[in-house]
Amino acid sequence: MPVAPFLFLFRFVCVSAWILLGLLTELLVFPVLGRVRRRRVVGAWSRVLLRLCGVRVRPVGAPVARGAVLWVANHVSWVDIFVLNSVRTTSFVAKSDIRRWPVIGLLVAWAGTLFIDRRHRHAVRDAGRQMLACFERGDAVGLFPEGTTTDGSHVLPFHAGLFDAAVQARVPTQPVALRFLKHGRHAPELAFVGEQTLVANLWFLLGARGVCVECCFLAPIPASAGLSRGELAQRAQAAISAAVRGESA
81-109 pLDDT, tens digit per residue, is 999 999 999 998 877 777 777 677 777 77
Q: Beta partners for 142?
A: 71, 92
Count the Cβ atoms, other than its own, within 10 Å of residue 109. 15
Identify the domain containing residue 213 by its residue range.
5-244
- Round to whole Å and give the CA distance between 18 and 5: 20
The H-assigned helical ranges of 29-75 are 35-53
200 in a structural domain:
yes
pLDDT band at 248 (very low <50, low <70, confident <90, very high): low
Report pLDDT for 247.
66
33 in a structural domain:
yes
Which SS3 state, helix, strand or coil, does residue 159 take? coil
Domain tally for the chain? Answer: 1
The gap between the terminal CA atoms of the chain, to the nearest Å, is: 32
pLDDT band at 1 (very low <50, low <70, confident <90, very high): low
233 in a structural domain:
yes
If one compares 115 and 33, the residue with the highest pLDDT of the two is 33
CA 112 to chain centre: 12
Which SS3 state, helix, strand or coil, does residue 199 take? helix
CATH number of the domain enclosing 218: 3.40.1130
125-173 pLDDT, tens digit per residue, is 888 899 999 999 999 999 999 989 999 999 999 999 899 999 999 999 9
- Round to whole Å and give the CA distance between 58 and 20: 27
249 in a structural domain:
no
Say which residues have a Cβ less than 8 Å from residue 23's Cβ, sequence separation at least 6.
106, 107, 110
64 in a structural domain:
yes
Which SS3 state, helix, strand or coil, does residue 60 take? strand
- Round to whole Å and give the CA distance between 222 and 219: 9
Report the chain's C-alpha Rg in angstroms.
Answer: 17
Q: Give me the chain's average pLDDT, please.
A: 90
231 in a structural domain:
yes
Beta carbons of 180 and 191 less than 8 angstroms apart: yes
